[in-house]
Structure 1
């Protein structure tokens, strides 16, 4: 596991919504269909280093408990997160409503946190359209409404897992670079104003 974390990413959503499987697939490349994951208590942490345009970025990933009884505990873990993956199960409409709850929480407490809406268990709806209980267009419309990007994933097949986390890392790097450039431009502007000689204002002799 890497030491220094550049970007804190938190996963939020209803229990059994696919968060832990998603993290396991991304960090360890594993998916165990024979032994379903137990409900997370508190939070689990993992880290992974990626390279974005030649720049190394270490993601610190917090998988939070989805159970409502651990709600207050989850708030502790998402504090200070720069990115949040709000997950819902594509086969469970109640998990989509729960996702909206977490989005509202983030909007109120972590204004600078970039939100990514993630529909999980895509493999279950890929071949069986009747299994899908959350329409993709509705989810995309909601994502647009909250200024979030929407991705559908499958921890079982790995579909869009790497894509999701790479997108998060790329967005982070781009935002960081833009901030650095903006600060440089501001510093240059200030330096230019300081270098300019004061105007020679002679009193008018009328």
Structure 2
């Protein structure tokens, strides 16, 4: 299926070994592979999902290579994207630093592309590994670039479908001319601070996604 037939275009960007392909594989095929072939250039896949009221949407997903030698090619893959999933390994600061590079590229070249900052491999926190970047720092940066935040585990299938459903729902709302509300802002006005899309520690299990 070509990207021309889809309802919206989503691109994944981030360093190598941040689990981008695992995330896509879990969403598209509903499976997890411990060892997955490294992406060369980019890989395209598509999936039809329901977004409420029995309405269906076809999401076209571009999984881009994280190696520096492919960076010059990435522009052709994120061109005219409706949404970008910027992935970083929750245990590697360097991957978050690289995420900022991609955010800058998108802001300069595709300013209308909505950004979703996505931590991967959060299950590693259950086996003693530490967050490389404080959650507060992520939140502050997300506010600066007007991005949403998700924390995911492809291996445990945590927040993967929720991520893509949120992207599709936001796109539909924006297309219909409705203002997209940030759930945290709504709850703050009610006197509550709710961090949606960030997993409860009790829901985590051990494991990892390479």
Alignment TM class, shorter chain as reference: 0.7 to 0.9
Query: Helix, strand or coil for the counterpart of 1:131?
Result: coil
- Cα root mean square deviation, aligned: 1.5
Contact 1:84 1:115 in 2 (8 A): yes
Q: For residues 119-161 of structure 1, give each alpha carbon's deviation from its aligned partner in whole angstroms, at most 9, with x where no partner exists.
A: 1001111342x43212222112211111000000000101000
1:201 paired residue number: none
Distance 2:110 2:126 in 1: 34
2:193 paired residue number: none
Distance 2:29 2:133 in 1: 28
Q: Following TM superposition, by how much is the alpha carbon of 1:52 offset from its aligned partner in structure 2, in angstroms?
A: 1.6
Distance 2:52 2:37 in 1: 37
Q: Following TM superposition, by how much is the alpha carbon of 1:39 offset from its aligned partner in structure 2, in angstroms?
A: 2.5
1:58 maps to 2:58? yes
Contact 1:18 1:121 in 2 (8 A): yes
Which one has the bigger helix percentage? 1
Distance 1:172 1:145 in 2: 20
1:164 maps to 2:163? yes
Contact 1:93 1:133 in 2 (8 A): yes
Distance 1:134 1:125 in 2: 12
2:132 paired residue number: 133
1:100 paired residue number: 100
2:21 paired residue number: 20
Unaligned runs of 5+ in 2: 179-210
2:80 paired residue number: 80
How many residues align structurally? 176
Largest Rg, 1 or 2: 1
Q: Given the two structures, how large is their TM-score scaled by the length of structure 1? A: 0.82
1:146 paired residue number: 145
Unaligned runs of 5+ in 1: 180-206
Q: For residues 152-171 of structure 1, give each alpha carbon's deviation from its aligned partner in whole angstroms, at most 9, with x where no partner exists.
A: 00001010000000000000
Distance 2:117 2:23 in 1: 13
